[in-house]
Amino acid sequence: MSKLGKQTWWFQSEPRVVTTGTIAGRIESEGPLGSWFDIRLDKDGMQSHSWEQDEQALFNQTAILTLQKSGISPRQVDLLIGGDLNAQLSGFYFGLRDLPSPSLGIYSACSSSTEALALAGLALDGGVAQYVLTGTSSHNSTAERQFRYPTEYGVQRPPTAQRTVTGAGMALLGKTGSEIALTAATIGRVVDYGITSPWEFGAAMAPAAEDTIIAHLQDTGRNLEDYDCIATGDLGHIGHKILRDLLHNRGLDPGHRLTDCGILIYRPDQPEVFSGGSGAACSSLVTFSYLLHQLQFGRWRRILVAATGALLSTVAAQQGETIPSICHAVTFERKDASS
């Protein structure tokens, strides 16, 4: 393990993705990536007594699915790392409480997926874990009622709004596994451009994505062209355009290699998706299904996943606070079969 520049961790032992698991809600399953998800729900959630319990069940089932695909038993998992958008991480802690592994809850809103992956890489590369199970969940109805209005209230949403993804995505990482390696992580800084509207996440997060992508390139000495795909977390259509403008101002043109998990997950004509998807599960669902499969199939060799988090707090928003944002990025690369 070593450090590149100021913000990037390089995982020299090249920890591997063993298996991934994805369970997607109804709207997500009807989207363009539907066929890539392991389990596609025909109703949102699993119909427990509450939306929160639905989300916990989603997270739990995704963990079990990911482990079942691997043949690794829950007791072999050295570490669980994850988070969700619910206050006090009830998705993660309640959903996975019957698993017997040491657990680390983390939170950086919708960049929790890559924060968890970065720490998984650190633990594996540092030799304190053989297997780490990591991932995130989100649920449209738990997030809407927490951050904005209960969905039952039927409030009209502006076109800048993004739809919080329902689902959970997890990955089991190990010292050996598939040909896909987690090779580096760039830890983001908090960036606050003064956006206050909880409907404007894309604008709030785009400068954080720019900051981390630029730091990653500087730290690694690479160019945008060294990546087959650079996928931000969930800037949506509006935030994605802002990020392109910000990069353009630096003389950088990412072309088609720059995409966004929030754009990929929905068709623009799906109902009420507006600017695209968001939520802690948006980047984990897209990364652990569509993106990693492109590496697995050999279509791509190296990708950068830069999940973005709007660090909105319910109370802070009501107090008129701005929305600080953050972006953590990880690189996945296709290597020869498990070394």
The string of DSSP letters for 2-64 reads: EEETTTEEE-TT--EEEEEEEEE-HHHHTSTTGGGSSEE-SSSS---SSHHHHHHHHHHHHHH
144 touches a second copy by CB under 8 A? no
**Of 286, 283, 275, 188, the residue nearest 240 (C-alpha):** 275
Residue 153 β-bridge partners: none
Q: How far apart are CA 201 and CA 237, in angstroms?
A: 11
x/- letters, 160..189, toward a second copy (CB under 8 A): ---------------------------xxx
CA distance 90 to 83: 8
Instruction: Give the residue with the Cβ less far from a second copy, 29 or 136.
Output: 136
For residue 308, which of 277, 332, 334 has the smallest C-alpha distance? 277
* 150 binds a second copy, rule: CB under 8 A: no
Tell me, by CB under 8 A, how many residues bind a second copy: 59
Decide whether 70 or 86 has the Cβ nearer to a second copy: 86
Pick the closest to residue 168 from 60, 81, 293 (CA basis): 60
324 is a site residue for a second copy (CB under 8 A)? yes
Residue 54: which of 120, 151, 149, 134 has the closest Cα? Answer: 151
**Residues 31-60 within binding reach of a second copy (CB under 8 A):** 49-50, 52-53
- Host H or E run for residue 114: helix 112-125
* 256 binds a second copy per the rule CB under 8 A: no
The least distance separating a second copy from the CB of residue 36, rounded to whole angstroms, comes to 29
Nearest to a second copy of 86, 287 (CB atom): 86
Q: Judged by CB under 8 A, does residue 90 bind a second copy?
A: yes
Q: With binding defined as CB under 8 A, does residue 218 bind a second copy?
A: no
101-130: contacts with a second copy (CB under 8 A): 101-109, 115, 118-119, 122-123, 125-129
Q: Per CB under 8 A, does 151 bind a second copy?
A: no
Give the residue, chosen from 311, 330, 333, 334, that forms a contact with a second copy under the rule CB under 8 A.
311
Measured distance between the N- and C-terminal CA atoms of the chain, rounded to whole angstroms: 17
Could you tell me if 332 and 305 are in contact, meaning their C-beta atoms sit under 8 angstroms apart? yes
Among 62, 66, 141, 146, binds a second copy (CB under 8 A): 146
The residue among 309, 67, 338 whose CA lies nearest residue 207 is 309
Tell me the closest approach of the beta carbon of residue 264 to a second copy, in angstroms: 26
In the complex, the smallest distance separating the C-beta of residue 256 from a second copy, rounded to whole angstroms, is 29
| Residue 141 near a second copy by CB under 8 A | no
How far is residue 242's CA from residue 51's CA, in Å, rounded to a whole number? Answer: 33
The residues binding a second copy (CB under 8 A) are 1-3, 6-7, 9, 49-50, 52-53, 78-79, 83, 86-90, 93-94, 96-97, 99-109, 115, 118-119, 122-123, 125-129, 146, 187-190, 192, 311-316, 319, 321, 324, 326
